Structure 1
Amino acid sequence: MVTIDVASVASEDELHRLLQREFDFPDFYGQNWAAVSGLVLIPEHVRFVGWKRLAEHVPDGVIMLADCLDRYRDLHRPGLRAEYL
């Protein structure tokens, strides 16, 4: 399981940088949501801590991230478990 603390993220750009670091996205990651849903292998169990605070600061980002992870699960990893705490 990978735990990612998103409570201090204040912008979509910061969220993408955090995801790139935590998921070890390649340098050519274009910080776009399409890349999240198919560019790299996402761990099978991901726990996001501070989700409510992230939703307050980056509301569009939380929607896009959750949608991308759902799409990733549907297309690539049926066992993916994402928790938003």
Structure 2
Amino acid sequence: MHLLLKRELRFPDFYGMNWAAFWDAITGLVRIPDHVRFLGWEHLAAGVPSGAVMLRRALGDYQATYRPKFVAEYA
């Protein structure tokens, strides 16, 4: 999951591939788009349920704390 996030959100090469590093990346290293759409969410959530929960939680916290107009869509 982290490899995909790194590639699609254009995280730096030194991205740490964990949730703390994800938080650091989205809150200070890169500016993620205003609208992010995750296709195949049900498949991802079934395959990596804890990762899906962590991703949704992190992006929800990001929206609440830093960018109220940010939209994450899970399709």
The percentage of aligned residue pairs carrying the same residue is: 54
C-alpha displacement of 1:31: 0.7
Distance 2:33 2:9 in 1: 8
Does residue 82 (structure 1) correspond to residue 72 (structure 2)? The answer is: yes
C-alpha displacement of 1:23: 0.3
C-alpha displacement of 1:73: 1.0
Distance 2:52 2:68 in 1: 21
Equivalent residue, structure 1, for 2:43: 53
Which stretch has the larger CA shift, 21-30 or 66-75?
66-75
What TM-score, normalized by structure 2, do the two folds share? 0.86
Q: Which amino acid aligns with 1:56?
A: A
Equivalent residue, structure 2, for 1:36: 22
Unaligned segments of structure 2, at least 5 residues:
none
What TM-score, normalized by structure 1, do the two folds share? 0.77
- The alpha-carbon distance between structure 1 residues 80 and 38, as it changes in their structure 2 partners (threshold 3 A), is farther
Greater relative contact order: 1 or 2 (C-alpha under 8 angstroms, separation 6 or more)?
Answer: 1
Does residue 70 (structure 1) correspond to residue 60 (structure 2)? The answer is: yes
- The structure with the greater share of residues assigned to helix is 2
Unaligned segments of structure 1, at least 5 residues:
1-14
